[in-house]
Amino acid sequence: MSTLEIKDLTVSVDTEDGAKEILKGVTLTINSGETHAIMGPNGSGKSTLAYSIAGHPKYTITGGTVTLDGEDVLEMSVDERAKAGLFLAMQYPVEVPGVSVANFLRTAKTALDGEAPKLRTWVKDVNGAMNKMHLDPTFSQRSVNEGFSGGEKKRHEIAQLDILDPAFALLDEIDSGLDIDALKVVSEGINDFRARDGKSVLLITHYTRILRYIKPDHVHVFVAGRIAESGGPDLAEELEANGYEKYVAAGV
Amino acid sequence: MTAAVQEALELDKVESHLHPEGSFDVEAHEVPKGREEVWRFTPLKRLKGIHDDAPFADGATKVEVEAAAGVTVETVAADDDVRGLSGLVPTDRVSARAWAASTGATLVRIPTDTVIEGATVIRHHGTGSETAGAGHAVIVAEKFAKATVVLVFEGSAVVADNIEIVVEDGADLTVVSVQDWADDAVHLSTQHAKVGRDANLKHVSVSFGGDVVRHDFSAEYSGPGGSVESLGLYFADAGQHIEHRLFVDHTAPKTKSHVVYKGALQGEKAHAVWIGNVLIRKEAEGIETYEENRNLILTDGAWADSVPNLEIETGEIEGAGHASAIGRFDDEQLFYLRSRGISETEAKRLVVHGFFNDLIRQIGVPELEEKLTSTVEAELAKNINTLIEKDATA
């Protein structure tokens, strides 16, 4: 059993007009085996939540705590958080020219496990993960995210989720920019991951359509830097029908 | 005056600061003071006087030749007609002094219609002599020949040299100059190429070692359809001055030039200079040129200058462009890699290898690829303590 606990988290970002508070007290507990969906309008701060948990240097934590099984996540460096079991799939994965996907994956797996993966099973695992995401085997030889289509970038993120096998997956708008076929492939990948023992997912999305393929245990409406309402899967259906309007009006 | 020089002079005169008038007469070149446009970046005080009147003598380097089968390498007398075959006329005092002081020249000849397997390597090993050496080499790829010639410079020495490259019609030549000097070496090299009709030249400059390394590479075309790919890779450490000056003179129509130089800098007073000049003459219609220089600053205290210049005398061209960048590590790249568990040190190492990898592949000399990758690794290792300290404080 492991638990990611976020308590009263406040986060600001530096702007030209000084520090701007984006998260205004977020409290959320994710137990292992659970999938939580965070839904909200643009600019509500839902991506900031994911990046703050992962430790992006752009965001300053001004208050609150994030713990993983009682360990202080905010004290950890970015790579220590990954080693502790966190994984962030990004909305806009970054290009790393000249570094092949194969080299990147192997370096990451070695860093996470503390030893190089066994060559024989490794190649099979990587090819299997690529295959599941409908990525050509030659994909491994391309530079990380360089010249990838939007869909390839997202499928590459989920292939990493499969191979690196973290305990907690933070998925930031993994569904944005995907056509319906790619959305199905990506959703299957996420569901395969969820089927593994004790895996947790924090699924951040603007749209409800991915929730047709991935059934969350809990749904949270995120507005103006905090959780406005929490509920079960039926809350997503209500949002699908009525949108964020009533929350946005209340938030202002 | 050689026929080649006369031919070169037959082109229209261009009033261009990119194209100073050359001369074989040493005294026609004033002793540089440091304010001159072509010298303003170079630390003259560290040149051991070779820009002024320091004497030259033989014995600064020991030369070893590994010639590929089919290639002839010989030493010819200083007054041999082959000198000047590329059209090289010294445009600065160091080049003119080296020309005058050379007691001979190394002639590399690749015969007509032969495709040579493997690289011909000419290794210059600095002997640590206090007295400067003056070198001269002429590399001739005859019509439709194909070959690779690698010049390696290592050890301690003070050297000024002129390297002439002649790529005859339809030939395909790769010349790589690797400056892998010891920390105290000074090397000023003037390399000039004449590229024939439909000929290809790939010129590569790799600079890792040395106290001051300044390389001037220029190219002109003796017929239409010629192509020059000019690649450079450098790694400047604390206190090192590495300067590359490129000049592509589009003297014929339908010619191409593509210049890519990439460098990394680390440590106090590491200094890299890149000047990329391209002149498109009136007669050079339908040409294509692109030049690019990228610098990655790995630590505080390092400094890069990057100056692309493009002078266009005709608008009837296919394309002309340039790009220049000086940057530090990209926070987003490092965050992405680290969010996968990769430490900051390892992430930086991956980014630097990636930065150079494409270029190393483009060099396309298998004998060199592994060596270049491991040299990049060794350069990074010098700085690894600084990177680790940063890791600890991150």
Interface of A with B in 187-246 (CB under 8 A): none
Per-residue pLDDT at B5 exceeds 80: no
% of chain A beyond a pLDDT of 90: 87
pLDDT of residue A249: 72
Q: Taking CB atoms and an 8 Å limit, are A97 and B354 in contact across chains?
A: yes
Question: DSSP states of chain A as a string?
Answer: --EEEEEEEEEEEEETTEEEEEEEEEEEEEETT-EEEEE--TTSSHHHHHHHHHT-TTEEEEEEEEEETTEEGGGS-HHHHHHHTEEEE-SSPPPEEEEEHHHHHHHHHHHHHSSPPPHHHHHHHHHHHHHHTT--GGGGGSEETTT--HHHHHHHHHHHHHHH--SEEEEESTTTT--HHHHHHHHHHHHHHHHSTT-EEEEEES-SGGGGTS--SEEEEEETTEEEEEE-HHHHHHHHHHTTHHHHHHH-
Reported as a pLDDT band with limits 50, 70 and 90, residue B380 is: confident
Look at residue B367 in the predicted model and tell me its pLDDT: 83
The CA distance from A205 to A172, in Å, is 7
Band (B20; pLDDT cuts 50, 70, 90):
confident
Query: Collapsing DSSP states into helix, strand and coil, what is residue B78?
Result: coil
State percent of chain B over pLDDT 70: 92
Closest Cβ opposite residue A108 in set B333, B342, B356: B342
- Determine the distance in angstroms separating the CA of A87 from the nearest CA of chain B, rounded to an integer: 7
- A123 or B7, which is more confident: A123
Amino acid at A182: A
Share of chain B above pLDDT 90, in %: 85
Intervals of chain A under pLDDT 70: 1, 250-252
Residue A104 CA to residue B213 CA, distance in Å, equals: 34
Q: Is A170 an 8 Å CB contact of chain B?
A: no
Q: Which one of A54, A79, A98 has the shortest CB-CB distance to B356?
A: A98
- For residue A72, the cross-strand partners are A67
Give the span between the Cα atoms of A205 and B323, in whole angstroms: 38
pLDDT at residue A248, rounded to an integer: 79
Amino acid identity for residue B18 in this structure: L
Per-residue pLDDT at B14: 63
CA dist B181 and B159 (Å) reads 11
Judging contacts by C-beta atoms under 8 Å, the chain B residues touching residue A94 are 330, 332-333, 335-336
Q: Which pLDDT score, from 0 to 100, does residue B218 have?
A: 97
Burial grade of B332 (CB within 10 A; 0-12, 13-18, 19 or more): middle
Interface of B with A in 274-293 (CB under 8 A): none
Structure tokens at A132: 């599941």
CB interface of B with A, residues 326-345, below 8 Å? 330-333, 335-344
Average predicted confidence (pLDDT) for chain A: 94
* A55 burial via Cβ count (<10 Å: 0-12, 13-18, 19+): buried
pLDDT above 70 (res B129)? yes
Q: What is the pLDDT of residue A6?
A: 97
Tell me, what's the pLDDT at A252?
47
The dihedrals phi and psi of A195, each to the nearest 5 degrees, come to -70, -20
Chain A residues closer than 8 Å to B337 by CB: 96, 104, 108
Q: Scanning every residue of chain B, which has its alpha carbon at the shortest distance from the alpha carbon of A88?
A: B339
The alpha-carbon gap from B178 to the nearest alpha carbon of chain A, in Å, equals 22
Contact B336 A90 (CB under 8 A): yes
pLDDT digits (tens, 9 = 90+) for B67-78: 999 999 999 999
**Torsion sign (Cα): B72, B73, B79, B82:** positive
Query: Inter-chain contact B346–A93, Cβ cutoff 8 Å?
Result: no
- Count CB pairs under 8 A between chains A and B: 83
A98 touches chain B (CB under 8 A): yes
Give the pLDDT of residue B387: 53
User: Band of the pLDDT at B1, cuts 50, 70, 90?
Assistant: very low
Record: contact B342-A107, CB cut-off 8 A: yes
Cβ of B323 under 8 Å from any chain A Cβ?
no
Chain A interface, mutation test: which of B339, B346, B350, B372, most A Cβ atoms within 10 Å?
A: B339
What does the pLDDT look like over B334-377, one tens digit per residue? 999 999 999 999 999 999 999 999 899 899 888 898 889 898 88
Range with the lowest mean pLDDT among B116-125, B215-224, B361-370?
B361-370
B59-73, B241-255, B374-388: segment of lowest average pLDDT: B374-388
Specify whether the CB–CB gap between A139 and A172 falls below 8 A: no
How many Cβ atoms are within 10 Å of A118's Cβ, its own excluded?
10
Given an 8 Å threshold on Cβ–Cβ distance, is A54 in contact with B342?
A: no
Q: List Cα–Cα distances, A182 to A132, A164, A176, B126, B170, in angstroms.
A: 12, 21, 11, 60, 49
Per-residue model confidence (pLDDT) at position B18: 64
pLDDT of residue A66: 97
Run of H or E including B345: helix B344-363
The reply to whether residue B340 touches residue A104, judged by beta carbons under 8 angstroms, is: yes
Give the residue carrying structure tokens 């040395």.
B210
pLDDT above 90: residue B303: yes
Q: How much is the pLDDT for B393?
A: 45
